[in-house]
Structure 1
Amino acid sequence: MYDFDVVKPATVAEAVSALGQDEAQPLSGGQTLIPTLKARLAMPSVLVSLSGIEDMRGVRMGDDGRLCIGGGTVHATVAKEAEAHYPGLASLAARIGDPAVRNRGTIGGSVANNDPSACYPAGVLASGATIVTNAREIAADDFFEGMFATALDEGEIITEVRFPIPEKAHYEKFIQPASRFPLVAVFVAKFADGVRVAVTGASEDGVFRWSDAEAALSGSFAVDALSGLSLPGDGMISDLHGSGDYRAHLVAVMTKRAVAALT
């Protein structure tokens, strides 16, 4: 580590102003940023802590029937308070990392970081959620732009994520035991007008929608509808934990398991 200043704003406006300083970087739950600083892979001169902004915390139902989760809400709170409204999303949050991570990591931090193996991006994308920032609203389909890349501008803060509630949804996760990240995970959400399937942990480009599976399941929401569907191993992550072909195979397996859990 090295010397840097820490600013603790009480409002979103104060945070945006603080982020206008040279080499300032936002700090949410710190589950990715702090290890990055320890490894000297990032060297901001100012950390702008978002943990003291009350307006960015909490889970509520909006007037339009969407589940609204503040960007500074920790995973453990989502797991507890979203259960009555969106159990599929609550289950996802309850299985992120370990208790320490779940009580420090935030939904806004996870979505903004867009780790290619993070859990929340799959839930956000499969739900067709809206990411609300201090400046605008961004549809999930337009938000995720590749590994660790999003549509966020410099200094833009995720203040809330708004989730339409599907008829039913399930997150199926194949855990890499050492990191607790998913080796591959699939979130399936069934809405009245169709099915959305989002995959995390598999692609070199990060979270993505599996359109062939969506079309098949929208026609018939049954495990058999997925028979014969597969993805190529090209473009999938290949490392010591599994090849690209293995991950592609797991995508099909996890999707079938998710559908089976809902039928």
Structure 2
Amino acid sequence: MAFFNVAHLHISFGGLKAVNNISFDVQRNEIFSIIGPNGSGKTTIFNLISGIYRPDEGRIVLEGENMVGKTPDRIARKGIARTFQNIELFANATVMDNLMLGRHIHMRTGIFGGAFMFGSRSRAAREEVAHREKVERIIDFLELQSVRDQFVGGLAYGKRKLVELGRALAMEPKVMLLDEPSAGMNTEEKDDLTIWIKDIRDDFQVTILLIEHDMNMIMGISDRVLAMNQGREIIQGAPGEVQRHPEVIKAYLGEEAIA
């Protein structure tokens, strides 16, 4: 059985098939990318996986357990983290505070326990230190030391995207869903992001599902690729095989993309 499996996924909105019989397997520590033009159903698949939508039909299975019907917070606790096309951060909180929010699913003492930290030896205090150590590792990993105490709303767009990536990583996921992580980044930032995604896979042992429009990134980072159009699969396979497929060229890359 595959580490992560999507089987015969369907969902319709007002009679429109947004996702139509999509199936794929993802192996542990694989980078699996989904491509397609706007409206092809890519983000809808992420919404189904993360529990925002419930499919009309189909299964979403992580390590043998069906995720369908579970709430988004329960799915997060099972090990699936998510970033969004539009940044979902707290602008009036610091980088550190935003990253600490990614630790909430692992916090046992909770808000009320944290309010009564009688000395450094209390359970809540020890837990706070442990969570901060996890976040400090992510700050170092993503080279966010210089902005760790700055409010997120004042950061450049590329930095905010990194903070969102870091918050998802702070959840210690088994599977990370990255929805257009390079959107709004310049070439240098995209090059750095490509390295970080590979390092997340290798150093943190996280399986990556990636939606991305930058084909250079897709071709350079993916183990396998699923190409979609109008809710349906065109092809899935190795990046080069997908890139050469005539329907992919027509639907996504444009007729002029392949000489």
TM-score range, shorter chain: under 0.3
Write 1 or 2 for the structure with the bigger share of helix. 2
Larger RCO (alpha carbons 8 Å, 6+ apart): 2
